[in-house]
Structure 1
Amino acid sequence: MKATHNPPTDVQVTPADLLRMAALYLRRHGWTQGTYYASDAPADNPTPPACVVGAIGIACAGHKVEHFADLDTDDRHTYLDAIAVLVDYLDDHYPIHLFDDDGLCIDDHTSPYSWNDDPLCTADKVIAALEGAAKEWDRLHTQGGEQ
């Protein structure tokens, strides 16, 4: 590279990057259930404990995100891609499916919201799932999908 060459500054954040950042966020700031962000945290706290989806939102935007529509277009796509990767991973490793009163499956995919709020879920499981989903995305997209 010549001294006058300016390297590109656009860095493409992958779903795996975002999932790892969310895991790191939860390690540093804590995890919660039943809400995106801990309700007992001060309102002006920029880094409250978060649920799995709330942590992905903060990792994506750098601040609390109440709904994906609050994100700009580029961030929204990255956020939704990361959620989809997590859902695929949960389907394979932590399946929870909702059934109606007649026993018919309502949703074929594991909801990250329901999974996060399951009483058996723990912060360690959430962090492990985020990291596992990131590793799986990398395996499929950067290593040609080999086992």
Structure 2
Amino acid sequence: MKATHNPPTAVQVTPADLLRMAALYLRRHGWHQGTYYAPTTDTPTPAACAVGAIGMACAGHPVKHFSDLRTDDRPTYLDAIAALTDYLDQHYPIHLVDDDGYWLDEHTSPYSWNDDPACTAEHVIAALEGAAKQWDRLHNQKGGNR
């Protein structure tokens, strides 16, 4: 290393890391349906939905839209949501269907899936962890990115 070389000081957080942290967040602070976060004023760490938990894992505070994030954090946040969506398509497919029987959406929405009455906290935590494992399997080979 040259004396003028400045090594990166921050660790690269992957979408899989965010998904695992979101699962841990839900275990510690609770799961919520209907909105990103449970309405409360007495805690900075409210119960959250799946995507709300990803936001908390990414920013450390409630995130209701990716524009609430630092510019550098947005791609990883959006990639984590995409990884969860891909995982849900394979393992928990829910598609909105119109009156003629045609799909209105191509992918399972993590928002609709989280709010489905049949969904539980255990389902959400398992899906976040499963999506993280899937992301690692697809993007890492012998400890490094492909």
Which residue of structure 2 aligns with residue 24 of structure 1?
24
What runs of 5+ residues in structure 1 fail to find an aligned partner? none
What secondary structure is seen at the aligned counterpart in 2 of 1:92?
helix
* 1:52-102 residue CA offsets vs partner (Å, 9 max, x unmatched): 000000100010011111112111111100000000000000000011122
| Counterpart among 65, 68, 71 of residue 70 in structure 1 | 68
Q: Normalized against structure 1, the TM-score is what?
A: 0.89
* 1:8-56 residue CA offsets vs partner (Å, 9 max, x unmatched): 31211000000000000000000000010012x2x25210000000000
Which residue of structure 1 aligns with residue 80 of structure 2?
82
What secondary structure is seen at the aligned counterpart in 2 of 1:13?
coil
Q: Identity of aligned pairs, percent?
A: 80
> What root-mean-square deviation, in Å, do the aligned CA atoms of Structure 1 and Structure 2 show?
1.7
CA distance in 1, matches of 2:62, 2:45: 8
Which residue of structure 2 aligns with residue 101 of structure 1?
99
What secondary structure is seen at the aligned counterpart in 1 of 2:31?
coil
Q: CA deviation at 1:7?
A: 5.8
> Aligned residues, how many?
139
Which residue of structure 2 aligns with residue 134 of structure 1?
132
Which residue of structure 2 aligns with residue 10 of structure 1?
10
CA distance in 2, matches of 1:127, 1:76: 22
Q: Normalized against structure 2, the TM-score is what?
A: 0.90
1:25 maps to amino acid: Y
Pair 67,100 (structure 1): closer, same or farther in 2 beyond 3 Å: same
What secondary structure is seen at the aligned counterpart in 2 of 1:12?
coil
1:53 maps to amino acid: V
What runs of 5+ residues in structure 2 fail to find an aligned partner? none
Q: CA deviation at 1:143?
A: 2.7
What secondary structure is seen at the aligned counterpart in 1 of 2:103?
coil
2:23 maps to amino acid: A
What secondary structure is seen at the aligned counterpart in 1 of 2:138?
helix
